[in-house]
Structure 1
């Protein structure tokens, strides 16, 4: 069977990454640009999520995995299918209609939305053919289609999920400090956390393992490094808040 597209079914992928330097939760967006052939004036100039139509011979999960791999080269990342978006008018903004006509897409397309969690340093955006760029979740640029709504709903799901499952460690380096964990929670939840109380709760978790290593290349006093043990977590897992912020 050939890879025939399902013309009115697509997947859109919200790719989250945490920057430990800027301490921001970011979304990876791609450039959407189209010029008038006669005047060379921009008709469409904004950003969108990475996504594409589903092939007849693949599952939705396989389609989302393919789309992420084409953008980042990565596979095996944490992903969650969280909602379908099927408003009849979701692609009928003026600029969206221009884009849809140019790409010969079906204006009545239903998209299945996923979000992925990965480390920002694992993605090389400098030579990306899609002109991909990380944007802080609270400083989003002009976004096409209904993709801002998709991003914000994915973000709300992430905020809930991060309190009950250890998914935040998908966003952190393999070796991290307790401050890194706190910074990430504060970035996702948009709150301030008491440092002393948070540190005590984190280091008491059996699945957060202290290493015989400290930070290197820092101007201040180097901090203790830790790692997350998925094996230990799965053995002691209970349906309760991960850190009880």
Structure 2
């Protein structure tokens, strides 16, 4: 890609959140950042970072974010939110960051616009991923480059607030889900214990939670009822109050 196509001091960084139903874990998708000395006798940089790239001259910020996600995951049309700009003068001044920037020819004074995406971890095939991407639980992040830990944690705080006001958590679940899976997801995001009986009653009474004539398959114990979220119904009855009181 020609340097002239890039806006060299503006980038977009993407926090990709994914939920793993099996481990009941909210995860972040990160890529490997690795650099050796020219003689390959010394490892100069070995950590993880968010996926991001410079904004191209003919792109909107949303275009750049969507391009970055597609290159990382192969996915399009996922839920995304632009939540903050990060432009501190010292955000790229760590020693390892300086080494990396010099090797890549990046601009030392780069402002990044941060987005987060929501998806199901099963939607991403990591075996064929050229970036050595890997899921990490939000509470056990690895060593991160740049100011990416700060970006991730601020995205997480925004997600916690937003999941109580809008039905975005269903972006992290399969199309068909159980009530327990919804509760597990809320608990994973918010880091709290929720009363099971009270939660079930409130959720089932929501008109946009549709009971299906289906139950779980491949379950040794008693299979649970499956439900789906109807965005059409939600949009019609949407009010400014919380999606659900927990």
TM class by shorter chain equals over 0.9
Offset, 1:41: 2.0
Matched with 1:56 is 57
Offset, 1:218: 1.3
Matched with 2:83 is 82
Distance in 2 between the 1:57 and 1:107 partners? 23
Distance in 2 between the 1:39 and 1:55 partners? 33
Q: For residues 186-209 of structure 1, give each alpha carbon's deviation from its aligned partner in whole angstroms, at most 9, with x where no partner exists.
A: 000000000000000000000000
Alignment partner of 1:99: what SS? helix
Q: For residues 10-39 of structure 1, give each alpha carbon's deviation from its aligned partner in whole angstroms, at most 9, with x where no partner exists.
A: 000000000000000000000000011114
Alignment partner of 1:211: what SS? strand
Offset, 1:3: 6.7
Residue 198 in structure 1 maps to residue 199 in structure 2? yes
Alignment partner of 1:28: what SS? strand
Aligned partners of 1:3 and 1:57 also within 8 Å: no
**Aligned positions of 1:18-97 closer than 5 A:** 18-97=19-98
Offset, 1:148: 0.2
**Aligned positions of 1:90-239 closer than 5 A:** 90-239=91-240
Alignment partner of 2:9: what SS? strand
Question: What are structure 2's unaligned runs of at least 5 residues?
Answer: none
Alignment partner of 2:118: what SS? strand
TM-score, scaled to structure 1: 0.98
Question: What are structure 1's unaligned runs of at least 5 residues?
Answer: none
Bigger shift: residues 30-39 or 173-182: 30-39
Q: For residues 52-108 of structure 1, give each alpha carbon's deviation from its aligned partner in whole angstroms, at most 9, with x where no partner exists.
A: 000011000000000000000111000000000000000010000000000000010
Aligned partners of 1:119 and 1:173 also within 8 Å: yes
Bigger shift: residues 30-39 or 190-199: 30-39
